[in-house]
Structure 1
Amino acid sequence: MVSINRRQFLAAISATAFTSMGTPAHTAMANEELRVVVIGLNGIGRTHLEGFPLIPGVRVVGACDVDSAVLGTRAENFDKKFGYQLKTYDDLRRVYDDPNVDAVVLAVPNHWHGLGTVWGCQAGKDVYTEKPCSHNIWEAGQMEKAAQKYERIVQIGIQRRSFPHLQEFFREIREEGVLGKLKSVKGLYLTRRSSIGKPEVTPKPLPTVNHDLWCGPGSTELERLRYHYDWHWFWDYGNAELGNNGPHILDLCRWVVGAEEFPTSVTSVGGRYAWDDNGQTPNTHILSYDYATAPITFEIRDLPTAEGKQDTCQYRGLSYGIVVEGEDATYLGFDTGKVIDNNGKTIREVTGDKGADGGRQLHRENFVKAVRSRKTSDLNCSVKTGHLSSALCHLGNISHQLGEPVALTSLPERVQDQPLIAEASQRMSEHLAANGVNTKSASVQLGRTLKIDPTKEIFPNDAAANQLLRREYRSPYIVPEQV
């Protein structure tokens, strides 16, 4: 097997650092054991560590994490559960340089998805990358190029693509018109989170963590009190709630309308309210995407129904999921759902096998199937599919970041020509008032309405927006121009 040594990785400062890597001669075939290493062991990584060994012909041979405490605990628990010891790695580059690894699972923070996938492909590994597909739009393109060049199988962890009942029902909506002509699709993520707090002194990295490696392409400056997870709410590493749970919801929205390219425009409205903390991203957000088949909107609320409560909001009985409004009927659901007629009567239940672990086990099995067949067409969520859905999150965040604060009281007038945004904004204002926000004095970030070239995946004649299609990378953790 052709491998990439550690010195080459550490020297990867230029755009051509990995262009000479070839595809390894060995690929796990249908009758061979598939050797997998899970990279990133907190949260979802733990479930991958326990889920992949259950697939016939798959052996998890190793685990990797930059936090030695997490790594030790996960390896010990794995040994107790499965009866053998894992090889442990504290650096993903050592995994990629190991000739005894066929595939990797990237359950790392968002800012590592692009580079981790490209490096994996260059090292000859097949890759299962968690959502979102990438930290920004440009690097998703580099991921796709790497997968094609090195003939690697890359699955993105948007697992509802592997639900047979949704595959069939969404086909019926698109091809048979079971809901009638589509009028609109609403995505919802209405949950309750809490403030992340505000450090009184500069936080220090956990002593068990290789902080430089954790930060990778991003800044090494530490601003959050809780080291793990709260990176989601800082732009250098995460993509807000929109890029956290948004990929699952927006993928359903895009899938149901059959959109296989970018929308023609995006608009956002939102802000961070009620919490006295230093998080950078919105906890209240409304997005709108224009597609020819039907417009898509997405509402995010991380506050409870009212100040002091410990509950979550609902819209038409859903806290998260999609509402697909057709001329003849409406679908409401997430993993499963129901169809109601125009009088509100349930006329069909949409259910099916979700598999274990929230559907991830079905998705893992699909990945393994594609690895065996060497056919990207066997994947339920290829890089391209995952990119188109994750990009909706990035487009909305770009609109938000380029927006301007306006008085919340002026919002109805500012969005009156966008009825779906206006309707959602009214719900948002009422929700904020219930959470103790003074809506007469509060401001809201009115994102720029951005026109998009769906084919080129750029913003025509908008240099500021196009600049946000990619990021500045910290050396040596640079996604190469030439993969």
Structure 2
Amino acid sequence: MQRRDFIGKTIIGTAGIAVGSSFMPIGSRVKGANDKIVLALIGAGGRGTDTIISNCKVNANVEIKTICDVNDVKAFKTIATVEKELGYKPGHSRDMKEVFNDKDIDAVWIATPEHWHALATVWACQAGKDVYVEKNPTVCIWEGRKMIEAAKKYNRIVQVGFQNRSAPYAFSARDYIQSGQLGEIVHVKSYNMLGGSKWEPQADSPVPQGLNWDAWQGPAPSRPYNPGIHDMESRGGWGNFWAYSGGTLADDASHVLDLARLVLGDPGHPKSVYGWGGNTAWGSSKETPEFQSITFDFGKYAHTCESGSSTNYMKKTPQHIRMDPTLFPDWRTNATRTEIYGTKGLMYLGRHGGGWQVKGEDSVLIAQGGGVFPDKDHQLDFIESLRTRKKPNGDLEQGQLSATLVHLGNIVYRVGNKQLFFDGAKEKFIGNDEANKLLRRKYPEGYSIPDNV
């Protein structure tokens, strides 16, 4: 099926979703604890499968009606996993528009590659569906603003998959800082120093059976199938290409930056950003850099981020520590820590578990708060938000501010590793047309986000 034919067939009967002007969403109503909430999974990879099943286990009266993916291999595998774990067999769809048109479905769980997050969220809001969307929520700054507008216009709950925003230990770290016990904040360092190896390009190949490649590309530019981008069974290498992702910075550093923002009281946009990045570690030719070093100017302090796939001796917090609130990682070689320097002490902060500790002179332990991986907390919060219509912990406004840090760091790299000044109110760069061109991307016919959502 050609891309034009696919678009034509999926638009039939869904003009309101595609255009947005004539579609009237389903009215919101508060659901009681005994009311069933029906979900659909869009994007049947490992992360989406695991989290939506967990969501159904930790919340009562929640079920999955449909698994939607353009990759039949992954879809059928997820359907079988759901049947094994939850005791029933969900339906299958290859077209998310069918999901949006299904009046039985209350909310969608979007776990596609990043380039689909924004458009799928906007379409879902227009169709009257609530949304859980994985990080990073966008591939450009403009998309985030459109997502916010759509959620507000159609009165939708949208929870971004920044799970640390539901972590009790994150709240206690924020309370400690706000109490003044850390003193005045003078500097913040976030790390996402992961391991890796040299990226090698692969030749284009025929589209595998069971995959709608045109639909997988969706809002990204059309290109031939490449096994270095997509894999029928595993995650694939799409994170190495700007068309689909913001690279390592968007994948894991987005969590670290978002958590840091939360405990610091959720500051707004930075005044400027300076960055360095490149493929100097392994010498590969991939688009997204092997390593980046970024400095954000927040006025009263600078917030730096070191991110890449070049330091194999650095490790994420071990799983047994992530799940035990009495244990803390070795901060010295913890790959995804944040360090918050106050005038009275230094706070070490773990991502997705690991808690926080404050140390003073001679590394004396001053205070600490244990914490575990907050996936289940985030899932509980999402369903509570659907039932009560309260603002979710992973609100889109804060998701946009955190995602913007990712985009600022990447744009600095893409325009030549220089300092850029940013107008936060307008979400535009000051005096740099080259950088402003990267605030928004071009979309192929049938997959665009309209200015008026």
Distance 1:26 1:323, change over 3 A: closer
Q: Aligned to 2:73, which of 69, 73, 76?
A: 69
Paired residue secondary structure (1:319): coil
Q: Deviations over 1:20-64 (max 9, x none)?
A: 211214646124100011111112111123112111121122211
What is the rounded CA distance, in whole Å, between the counterparts of 1:15 and 1:451 in structure 2?
Answer: 37
Residue 375 of structure 1 pairs with residue 375 of structure 2: no
Whether the 8 Å CA contact 1:11–1:476 is kept in 2: the answer is no
Whether the 8 Å CA contact 1:161–1:380 is kept in 2: the answer is yes
Distance 1:278 1:66, change over 3 A: farther
Whether the 8 Å CA contact 1:459–1:466 is kept in 2: the answer is yes
Partner of 2:326: none
What is the rounded CA distance, in whole Å, between the counterparts of 1:205 and 1:294 in structure 2?
Answer: 50
TM-score scaled to structure 2, two decimals? 0.88
Give the residue type in structure 2 aligned to 1:233: N
Distance 1:156 1:195, change over 3 A: same
Whether the 8 Å CA contact 1:243–1:393 is kept in 2: the answer is yes
Deviation at 1:150, TM superposition (A): 0.5
Partner of 2:36: 33
Paired residue secondary structure (1:320): coil
Q: Deviations over 1:264-304 (max 9, x none)?
A: 00011011134364421111110110012321000013123
Partner of 2:325: none
The equivalences for 1:134-153 within 5 A come to 134-153=138-157
Partner of 2:262: 255
Residue 326 of structure 1 pairs with residue 329 of structure 2: no
Q: Aligned to 1:361, which of 372, 376, 390?
A: 376
What is the rounded CA distance, in whole Å, between the counterparts of 1:460 and 1:159 in structure 2?
Answer: 33
Moved more, 330-339 or 14-23: 14-23
Whether the 8 Å CA contact 1:189–1:320 is kept in 2: the answer is yes
What is the rounded CA distance, in whole Å, between the counterparts of 2:15 and 2:446 in structure 1?
Answer: 5
Distance 1:182 1:326, change over 3 A: same
Deviation at 1:226, TM superposition (A): 5.2
Q: Aligned to 2:415, which of 402, 424, 429?
A: 402
Partner of 2:427: 457
Unmatched 5+ residue regions in structure 2? 1-6, 317-329
Partner of 2:288: 281
Unmatched 5+ residue regions in structure 1? 404-446
Partner of 1:191: 194
Give the residue type in structure 2 aligned to 1:9: I
Q: Deviations over 1:410-455 (max 9, x none)?
A: xxxxxxxxxxxxxxxxxxxxxxxxxxxxxxxxxxxxx121101122
Whether the 8 Å CA contact 1:267–1:448 is kept in 2: the answer is yes
What is the rounded CA distance, in whole Å, between the counterparts of 1:239 and 1:459 in structure 2?
Answer: 19
The equivalences for 1:162-177 within 5 A come to 162-173=166-177, 175-177=178-180
What is the rounded CA distance, in whole Å, between the counterparts of 2:292 and 2:146 in structure 1?
Answer: 29
Q: Aligned to 2:228, which of 225, 229, 232?
A: 225
What is the rounded CA distance, in whole Å, between the counterparts of 2:16 and 2:412 in structure 1?
Answer: 31
The alignment covers a number of residue pairs equal to 424
Deviation at 1:93, TM superposition (A): 1.2
What is the rounded CA distance, in whole Å, between the counterparts of 1:276 and 1:208 in structure 2?
Answer: 35
Partner of 2:324: none
What is the rounded CA distance, in whole Å, between the counterparts of 1:10 and 1:273 in structure 2?
Answer: 49
What is the rounded CA distance, in whole Å, between the counterparts of 1:58 and 1:11 in structure 2?
Answer: 28
Whether the 8 Å CA contact 2:358–2:366 is kept in 1: the answer is yes
What is the rounded CA distance, in whole Å, between the counterparts of 2:30 and 2:40 in structure 1?
Answer: 14
Q: CA RMSD in A?
A: 2.3
Partner of 1:154: 158
Partner of 2:184: 181
What is the rounded CA distance, in whole Å, between the counterparts of 2:107 and 2:30 in structure 1?
Answer: 9
What is the rounded CA distance, in whole Å, between the counterparts of 1:15 and 1:456 in structure 2?
Answer: 28
Q: Aligned to 2:440, which of 470, 474, 483?
A: 470
Deviation at 1:6, TM superposition (A): 8.2
What is the rounded CA distance, in whole Å, between the counterparts of 2:36 and 2:117 in structure 1?
Answer: 26
The equivalences for 1:282-297 within 5 A come to 282-297=289-304
What is the rounded CA distance, in whole Å, between the counterparts of 2:268 and 2:174 in structure 1?
Answer: 17
Whether the 8 Å CA contact 2:42–2:69 is kept in 1: the answer is yes
